[in-house]
Amino acid sequence: LCGGSTQFRFTRTILGSLECGYHECTSCRGLQTDTPTWLDRSYSAEFHGLGLESAARSIWSQALVAYLFRVLGARGKILDFGGGVGLLCRLLRDIGHDAYLFDIYSTNIYAQGFAGEPEANYAMVTAFEVFEHFAHPLEDASKLFQGRPDFVVVGTGLYRGQGSDWDYLFPDPGQHVFFWSAGAHRWLAKQLGYHVVTVGKTITVYSRAKVGPIRSMLAQGCEIGAKLTQMVLPLAGRPGVARDEKRLSQPEPAPTANQPDAARPSELSARAQ
Ligand SMILES: [Zn+2]
């Protein structure tokens, strides 16, 4: 990530047979595997399933994002970066958020009609279980910040010097290749001109503008906040379903003669701001 020198920590066996070293950066304290030459196999059909946790995680993330969006005072669109088949995006739209999906590796199943691009402007970009997959952490993580979103919410296991028995390493199938320390998050934020609102055990929040002490304190309590939000969400209904039914059923107007390159309304709104 930061170009600092590394110190060998331990080895684990990757893909059942490959000895892999894990190295800690002496500067930002991030942990990285040996150069991951095995990723083609890691992402082959044999290993690249949805994962047993993915549905439950999306339901939890729905409450977490709803909570953070409110307490941080965010206004505007959300992009779920690396959002897989789009379940979190759909769940956020259900409760009224204007959420979009970006994932170049998965098929968009739940968020058809709501694909987004990271270059556009968003109030919030979210990335759950994405950052630990980055083989080029600086280059890859920077992509989330391209459109200068107001907030970036990252869910990834926090490296705090854990040993070879850390359950987040998942050496089989070898997809987790970089582990973010608090120092690594702070280093990235500084490079990109962002503030770090909170670094939690799994959730880190970046903001473009400085966040006041009350909002910052509420963001720090986001795991409890998400649990409380989960209790009240069923009472709020799903206003986004009727809204999207209407939106998707409206025929897109054809570009007019004097505007041959006119973008479609959905593209216009994604490019707005
Ligand atoms: Zn480093």
CA of 24 to the centre of ligand 1 (A): 8
Ramachandran assignment for 237, one of left (phi > 0), alpha (psi -120 to 50 degrees), beta (any other)? left
Look at residue 273 in the predicted model and tell me its pLDDT.
Answer: 38
Among candidates 114, 180, 113, which has minimal Cα distance to 152?
180
Look at residue 105 in the predicted model and tell me its pLDDT.
Answer: 87
Look at residue 271 in the predicted model and tell me its pLDDT.
Answer: 43
Pair 211, 190: CB distance under 8 Å:
no
CA of 79 to the centre of ligand 1 (A): 27
Q: Residue holding tokens 């994962």?
A: 51
Ranges in the chain, pLDDT < 70: 46-49, 252-273
Q: How far apart are CA 229 and CA 243, in angstroms?
A: 22
CA of 180 to the centre of ligand 1 (A): 9
Residue 166 DSSP symbol: -
Q: How far apart are CA 28 and CA 132, in angstroms?
A: 15
CA of 262 to the centre of ligand 1 (A): 45
CA of 189 to the centre of ligand 1 (A): 13
The predicted-structure confidence for 169-180, as pLDDT tens digits, reads as follows 999 889 999 999
CA of 253 to the centre of ligand 1 (A): 50
Q: How far apart are CA 76 and CA 98, in angstroms?
A: 7
Residue 180 DSSP symbol: B
Look at residue 139 in the predicted model and tell me its pLDDT.
Answer: 97
CA of 41 to the centre of ligand 1 (A): 27
